[in-house]
Amino acid sequence: MSLKNKLHDIKESLKGKKMAPLFGGFHTFLFTPNDTTQSGGHIRGADDLKRTMNMVVLALVPCLIFGMFNAGYQHYLALGEIKHTASGFFNAEFWTSSNFIVGFWKIIPLVIVSYVVGLGVEFIFAIKKGHEIEEGYLVTGMLVPLIVPIDLPLWMLAIAVIFGVVIGKEVFGGTGMNILNPALTIRAFLFFAYPTWMSGDKVWVEGARAASGSADGFSGETVLGTLAQGKEMATSVLDTFYGFIPGSVGETSTLLIVLAGLFLIFTKIGSWRIMLSAIVGALVMGYIFNMIAPSMEGTKFYGLMSTEFWHHLLLGGFAFGVVFMATDPVTASQTNKGKWIYGFLIGFLSIAIRVFNPAYPEGVMLAILLMNVFAPTIDHYVVQGNVKQRLKRIKVKTT
Amino acid sequence: MSTDIKIKKGLDIKLKGEAKKELSNASRSKIFTVYPEDFHSIIPKLSIKVGEKVKAGDAIFYNKFASPVSGEITEIIRGEKRKILAITIHADATDSYKDFGAKTPSNLAEPQVKQQLLESGCWTFIKQRPYDVIANPANSPKAIFVSGFNSNPLSADVTFALQGKEEAFQTGIDALIKLTDGKVHLSVNGNDSFLNNIKGVSLHKVSGPHPAGNVGTQINKINPVNKGEVVWTVNAQDVAIIGELFLTGKYNTERVVALAGSSVENPKYVTTKIGASITSILDNTNIADNSRVISGNVLTGKNVGKDGSLRHYNNTITAIPEGDDYELFGWTKPVFNKISTTRALTFSWLTPNKEFDLNTNTNGEHRGFVLTGTYEEVFPLDIYPMQILKSCMYKDLDEMEALGMYEVAPEDFALTEFICASKQPHQEIIRKGLDLMLKEIG
């Protein structure tokens, strides 16, 4: 008997039992189910949610691998074991196995904890509520390790994931029903619960925190952190574009994120409207700050205000947030018109928060979470526009 | 008068097994069946008994619903709570017709036309929006819409199916003109057809992908239904049946039906009558094992099985393979043999002219709504599809009304249902929403 038939028999024997969703979760990963259409049209398109989510995970893989190399690179750079020489994206000092190994052993545990804990919570809810296991966490589980500092203790990550999945998603009814982006909810939880592990100049480079205070202590600030303190930026623009800078695990390489964004637009999985309008929004805000920066010289805002407006796109988690988080269809605006407004405000607010928030010079997380909350309001007014048009049609007739 | 309408949003689903333009006569079906469920929201009251003889055009229930053939009532099949599921008629070898008298519609007044249609059973061919149910004869519609072409996958070519019935079609249109103070709108797709020369109608040339041929799309672009307004719709082939009633005085339910689909050995057109058994329509044509036989097209038809019959509003019989099998890593492997509007390792965008052999597999499990903006790409109506579907699900009547529920029928959501990654039953959701409105608002 083939594997297919064996699994089919197990599925039949579990029907109606508590463990059915759990088995189904694994079974449907191996085989697309034998469900046929029961109402309405008799044929269906090729796409399902698993395929859709899988595209986003695929787009994230290059960022993950780059993050592993970068973790080692930043580590050895800070220790002074290697010297920084800018020589293009395929720079020989960066793509070394020793860099990769450092990153691999730090990042794989983050990925495993994220998936095991997150999917565990999903399984518990699926069994409790008797519905199928939904694939929303496939993407979230991959996003989370990429947006945290590399030295984050695993137990903190686990607690944050539980919080994010339960409060961010399951209490609203699961995949498709949540108001806030679950991955950002997890990050926001970490940010407010364990701020010393999530910000400052000691968390972005592997080993920096452990070594701090000792004789060979080193610091690893993000570029944004440097700028926020009004210091000169020591990194070249190309390095910020390629991603050879300290930061959260997977968000440093703007180049790879742009490629992933183009992939998502090409596959029609990610909304180009949101990505484009967010970039426009960021440029507009950045430009406004550039204009007023000269009058602010001497204030603590000057460093980031005077950063060239286009350079903001390359710094911090902006690009990552815009491509992977802002485009989450569930928490974004759902109407096409609404997406323009939603995206624009995310870009606009990201840069505003970045400049004005002294404690934490990255605004994209808070900007997206804020706009998540306002997305239904934006949609409401867009849909009302359609409703009003419909009412106008009658009025034109009756007059 | 002719106006051009261009539909931009939509999707042509090209499938294997299109009916060849060869016409043959189906063998005479021994048993004809009338299914009350075809007449949505009607609760039938029988006016005949088992064993009674009927002529074609004799009422069999609710005094408006007529027998398609002459013969003897053999069985009344009932389901739960004695609901009438089907009425079967053992047909005579040749039909004898009840004579309703030949009349020229242009010489008649509105009430006489209505009376002729109501008495003969032809009224059932006239449907109304809102609610997509049989028209209420007490109303006066602001317009009547007839779509002169089909854009559904594998569905019958209207011009071909109506050959030889040109005069009947014109007479049917003449009758419909009497029923409205507004216009009778006829839409064509620009192909060479006698429909381009029909008199008395407002002719529209509609181009673009499916659902360009759906009457709902045409209504939305030409004269959308507002609150308190009613429009009526009639299928093109049924206009000819109405016309024949006036020309000959007979209720002749003869229809040219496309026999199509990849499971059909020799796809072609056959002449038959409403209610005829699928076996008689198939005649000697083989259908592959493990196929689904659908009365209607693959997007809106009904799964009737090989033992079923041609339903009241259908002009196509489609047979496609059942998809009741598992597919290894079907969710992640590149897909070349299925249709998709995305490019998520799906490659139908590379082969826009390929004819696909789709089966009935859902290609994934049912989920909550997640993706946004995808429905809008295939939905040409000036309505927010996901929002209206959700309003139906949480049964907010005010919102359903505001979002345009009076304008839609389930078939308008067949394409959004087809591409839905969450595999939501859109047509069922809309039907239930319309039923709720009909019950609460009426």
The residue ranking higher by pLDDT, A214 or B166, is B166
Q: Are B245 and B254 in contact (CB under 8 A)?
A: no
Distance of CA A304 to the CA centre of its chain: 23
Flag if A34 and B323 touch (Cβ within 8 Å): yes
pLDDT number for residue B390: 95
Flag if B421 and A48 touch (Cβ within 8 Å): yes
| Residue in B32, B57, B421, B432 with CA at minimum distance from that of residue B244 | B57
pLDDT number for residue A127: 86
pLDDT number for residue A105: 93
For B2-13+100-248, the fitting CATH number among 1.20.950, 3.40.50, 1.10.1740, 3.90.79 is 3.40.50
Mean pLDDT of B312-338: 92
Q: Are A225 and A250 in contact (CB under 8 A)?
A: no
Best mutation site among B371, B405, B408 for testing chain A: the one with the most A CBs within 10 Å?
Answer: B371
Flag if B363 and A44 touch (Cβ within 8 Å): yes
Distance CA B348, CA A52 (A): 16
Question: What distances in angstroms separate CA B337 from CA B151, B321, B334, B349, one per listed residue?
Answer: 21, 14, 9, 11
The residue ranking higher by pLDDT, B42 or A88, is B42
Identify all chain A residues contacting B426, using CB atoms and an 8 Å cutoff: 40
pLDDT number for residue A235: 75
Distance of CA B73 to the CA centre of its chain: 26
Name the least confident of A201-215, A271-285, B231-245.
Answer: A201-215
Flag if B419 and A45 touch (Cβ within 8 Å): yes
% of residues, chain B, pLDDT over 90: 85
| Helix (DSSP H) and strand (DSSP E) numbers for chain B | 10, 20
| Candidates A52, A177, A336; nearest CB to B421 | A52
| Helix (DSSP H) and strand (DSSP E) numbers for chain A | 17, 1
**What one-letter code names the amino acid at B370?**
V
The model's confidence at residue A317, banded by pLDDT at 50, 70 and 90, is confident
Best mutation site among A2, A43, A271, A378 for testing chain B: the one with the most B CBs within 10 Å?
Answer: A43
B403 interfacial to chain A (CB closer than 8 Å)? yes
pLDDT number for residue A216: 53
Span B113-129, pLDDT tens digits: 999 999 999 999 999 99
Flag if A47 and B422 touch (Cβ within 8 Å): no
Distance CA A4, CA A175 (A): 28
| Residue in B318, B355, B18, B6 with CA at minimum distance from that of residue B157 | B18
pLDDT number for residue A212: 59
Distance CA B262, CA B237 (A): 24
B394 interfacial to chain A (CB closer than 8 Å)? no
Nearest CA in chain B to A40: B427
Is residue B284 scored above 90 in pLDDT? no
Is residue B309 scored above 90 in pLDDT? yes
Flag if A46 and B346 touch (Cβ within 8 Å): yes
Peptide bond into B105 cis (omega under 30): no
Mean pLDDT of A256-262: 96
pLDDT number for residue A156: 95
Q: Residue A129 CB: number of other CB atoms within 10 A?
A: 11
Distance CA A34, CA B360 (A): 10
pLDDT number for residue A239: 85
pLDDT number for residue A361: 65
Identify all chain A residues contacting B342, using CB atoms and an 8 Å cutoff: 47, 52, 267-269
Identify all chain A residues contacting B339, using CB atoms and an 8 Å cutoff: 45-46
Q: Are B102 and B249 in contact (CB under 8 A)?
A: yes
Flag if B331 and A175 touch (Cβ within 8 Å): no
Identify all chain B residues contacting A35, using CB atoms and an 8 Å cutoff: 361-362, 365
Tokens of B137: 């004869």
Is residue B207 scored above 70 in pLDDT? yes
pLDDT number for residue A22: 83
Mean pLDDT of A198-226: 69
**Torsion, CA B347, CA B352, CA B358, CA B361, rounded to 10:** 40
Q: Are B151 and B246 in contact (CB under 8 A)?
A: no
Flag if A30 and B341 touch (Cβ within 8 Å): no
Tokens of A79: 């220790």
DSSP state of A132: P
Tokens of B402: 């505001």
Q: Which residues are registered as beta bridge partners of B145?
A: B185, B233
The model's confidence at residue A385, banded by pLDDT at 50, 70 and 90, is very high
Tokens of A339: 């997406």
Distance CA B316, CA B310 (A): 8
Question: What distances in angstroms separate CA A223 from CA A317, B53, B243, one per listed residue?
Answer: 11, 91, 80
The residue ranking higher by pLDDT, A270 or A306, is A270
Q: State the nearest Cα–Cα gap between B128 and chain A, in angstroms.
A: 19
pLDDT number for residue A229: 72
Is residue B214 scored above 70 in pLDDT? yes
% of residues, chain A, pLDDT over 90: 49
Distance CA A352, CA A111 (A): 32
| Residue in B23, B13, B18 with CA at minimum distance from that of residue B160 | B23
Q: Are A240 and A100 in contact (CB under 8 A)?
A: no
Q: Is B186 helix (H, G, I), strand (E, B) or coil?
A: strand
Mean pLDDT score across all residues of chain A: 88
Mean pLDDT of A167-192: 90
Span B242-258, pLDDT tens digits: 999 999 999 999 999 99
pLDDT number for residue A77: 85
Name the least confident of A18-27, A352-361, B58-67, B238-247.
Answer: A352-361
Span A51-104, pLDDT tens digits: 999 999 999 999 999 999 999 998 888 888 887 766 778 888 888 899 999 999
Query: Residue A90 is inside which H or E element, if any?
Result: none
pLDDT number for residue A166: 93
Q: Residue A381 CB: number of other CB atoms within 10 A?
A: 12
Distance CA B163, CA A322 (A): 58
| Candidates A51, A174, A336; nearest CB to B332 | A51
Mean pLDDT score across all residues of chain B: 93
Span A139-178, pLDDT tens digits: 999 999 999 998 899 999 999 999 999 998 988 888 888 9
Q: Is A15 exposed, middle or buried (0-12, 13-18, 19+ CB in 10 A)?
A: exposed
| Candidates B224, B421, B426; nearest CB to A393 | B224
Flag if A36 and B338 touch (Cβ within 8 Å): no
Q: Burial letters for B240-250: b for 16+ Cβ neighbours within 10 Å, e otherwise?
A: bbbbbbbbbbb
Distance CA B317, CA B4 (A): 31
- A392: alpha, beta or left, given left = phi > 0 and alpha = psi -120 to 50? alpha
Distance CA A256, CA A250 (A): 10
Identify all chain B residues contacting A47, using CB atoms and an 8 Å cutoff: 340-342, 344, 346, 363-364, 419, 421
Is residue B294 scored above 60 in pLDDT? yes
Q: Are A290 and A308 in contact (CB under 8 A)?
A: yes
Residue by residue, DSSP assigns B158-171 as HHHHTTT-HHHHHH
Q: Are B1 and B203 in contact (CB under 8 A)?
A: yes
Name the least confident of A31-35, A305-309, B343-347.
Answer: A305-309
pLDDT number for residue A86: 61
Q: Is B440 helix (H, G, I), strand (E, B) or coil?
A: helix
Span B400-419, pLDDT tens digits: 999 999 999 999 999 999 99
Q: Are B252 and B243 in contact (CB under 8 A)?
A: no
- Where are chain B's structural domains? 2-13+100-248, 362-440
Is residue B1 scored above 80 in pLDDT? no
State the Cα angle at A290 between A286 and A291, rounded to 5°.
120
The model's confidence at residue B205, banded by pLDDT at 50, 70 and 90, is very high
Span B59-109, pLDDT tens digits: 998 767 899 999 999 999 999 999 999 999 999 999 999 999 999 999 999
The model's confidence at residue A358, banded by pLDDT at 50, 70 and 90, is low
The model's confidence at residue B175, banded by pLDDT at 50, 70 and 90, is very high
Tell me how many residue pairs between chain A and chain B have CB atoms under 8 A apart.
221
pLDDT number for residue B99: 93
Tokens of B300: 């809106």
Flag if B329 and A31 touch (Cβ within 8 Å): yes
Q: Phi and psi dihedrals of A131, rounded to 5?
A: -110, 170
Q: CB neighbours of A396 closer than 8 A, spacing ≥ 6?
A: none
Tokens of B56: 């074609």
pLDDT number for residue B43: 86
Mean pLDDT of B282-300: 92
Residue by residue, DSSP assigns B324-369 as -S-EETTTTS-BSSS--SS-SSB-GGG-TTPPB---SB-SS-----
Span A101-137, pLDDT tens digits: 999 999 999 999 999 999 999 989 888 887 888 888 8
Distance CA B262, CA B243 (A): 34
